[in-house]
Amino acid sequence: MPAPFPPPFRGHEVEARLRPAAEAYPFDLDRVLASVVALESRVPSDAYTANILGTERIGNGVVISPTGLVLTMAYLVTEAREVILTLNDGRRVSGHVLGFDPRSGLGLVQALSPLDVPVMPIGTAKGLTAGDAVIAAGAGGRAHAAAGQILTRMPFSGYWEYHLDEAIMTEPAHPHWSGAALIGPKGDLVGLGYLSLEARAADGSPRPINMFVPAELLPPILDDLARGQPPHPPRPWLGVFTQEIGDHVVIVGISPKGPAARAELKPGDIILAVDGQGVADLAEFYNALWSQGPAGATIPLQVLREGDTFEVEVRSMDRGTLLKKPKFN
């Protein structure tokens, strides 16, 4: 009987029937899967994101450089003071957070000791279409990989002031999707796991799917991230959690210490317009918000609250100023 998987792999195995078979691919499957590592991070209890994302986070990362650069999701390493990478052979290596990009949601970690594992080449998802075969792989080898397919590429807007023009949706859903590698037909990295979502089957029943960030968003920002530099000027941030309800953008939560909290916006408020431009969904809201200028710009909002419409000006900010910064030694 094989030995049980050690933490942090244990409990995240993919059903045997969904695992990829090596003979089905024109590349060395085990070599490619060896590039995916488990990632654990610890965040101080007084960190801004501690209450939302927790102080202990676990996911995956992908080795993308012989020098030990590991690509992961930003939310796994935001404000982290300790990062541990676990390789498929069980070795554990400390890592250091270099930086992250709020626009794409990607983060970069530097391994502090040699990893001695294969590097996964960075590819692109641009040529992939619905039905194309892919592999979603968490750390731990074949038992933690799922042979699947592309469902679609589509815009995605998150309630936390986040938007992608072309997110990648895949199935079957991976049980340990966060930071998982989406591997294309050539054995290269075409996406990185962000979310587990729910779609509807033809009979109306729910079915889980995954959302991946396209890998082609990485090359333009990689050099900046590797140097610990922000890859983009910060966008104006309000600190609102919003949802689309009907044709309305409704505030469902407020970030503490954020501009919306200072402006006394409340859950239940409906954002009707930004600077006179009507908004009916999250994409319209974010595009109008981000077009108002850099972080710090004053954002004119038209808000509906309990039947009353009013105008309010909210001075935006750079969310990054609330976060603990990586310490460079």
Give start and end residues of each alpha helix (H) in the chain.
Answer: 29-33, 50-53, 74-77, 219-226, 259-262, 282-290
Please report whether residue 266 resides in a domain: yes
Mark whether 247 and 308 lie in a shared domain.
Answer: yes
- Mean pLDDT throughout 142-150? 97
The band of 56, judged by pLDDT with boundaries at 50, 70 and 90, is: very high
7 pLDDT more than 90: no
Identify the pLDDT of residue 81. 96
Q: Could you give the CA distance from residue 271 to residue 4 in angstroms, rounded to a whole number?
A: 51
Please report whether residue 227 resides in a domain: no
Identify the pLDDT of residue 204. 82
Q: Which domain holds residue 65?
A: 23-119
Amino acid identity for residue 41 in this structure:
S
The band of 9, judged by pLDDT with boundaries at 50, 70 and 90, is: confident
Identify the pLDDT of residue 125. 96
Q: Could you give the CA distance from residue 69 to residue 72 in angstroms, rounded to a whole number?
A: 10
**Beta carbons of 70 and 117 less than 8 angstroms apart:** no
Q: Could you give the CA distance from residue 264 to residue 314 in angstroms, rounded to a whole number?
A: 10
Distance of CA 297 to the CA centre of its chain: 26
Mark whether 194 and 110 lie in a shared domain.
Answer: no
* CATH number reported for the structural domain that contains residue 155 in this entry: 2.40.10.10
Mark whether 83 and 150 lie in a shared domain.
Answer: no
Please report whether residue 107 resides in a domain: yes
Task: Please count the CA atoms within 13 angstroms of the CA of 129 that sit on its side-chain side.
Answer: 0
Mark whether 72 and 109 lie in a shared domain.
Answer: yes
Please report whether residue 177 resides in a domain: yes
Mark whether 56 and 95 lie in a shared domain.
Answer: yes
Percent of the chain topping pLDDT 70: 97
Reference 290, options 140, 138, 111, 102; nearest CA is 102
Q: Could you give the CA distance from residue 33 to residue 62 in angstroms, rounded to a whole number?
A: 9
Q: How many CB atoms lie within 10 A of CB 18?
A: 15
Q: What is the pLDDT of residues 252-279, one digit of tens each?
A: 999 999 999 999 999 999 999 999 999 9
Please report whether residue 172 resides in a domain: yes
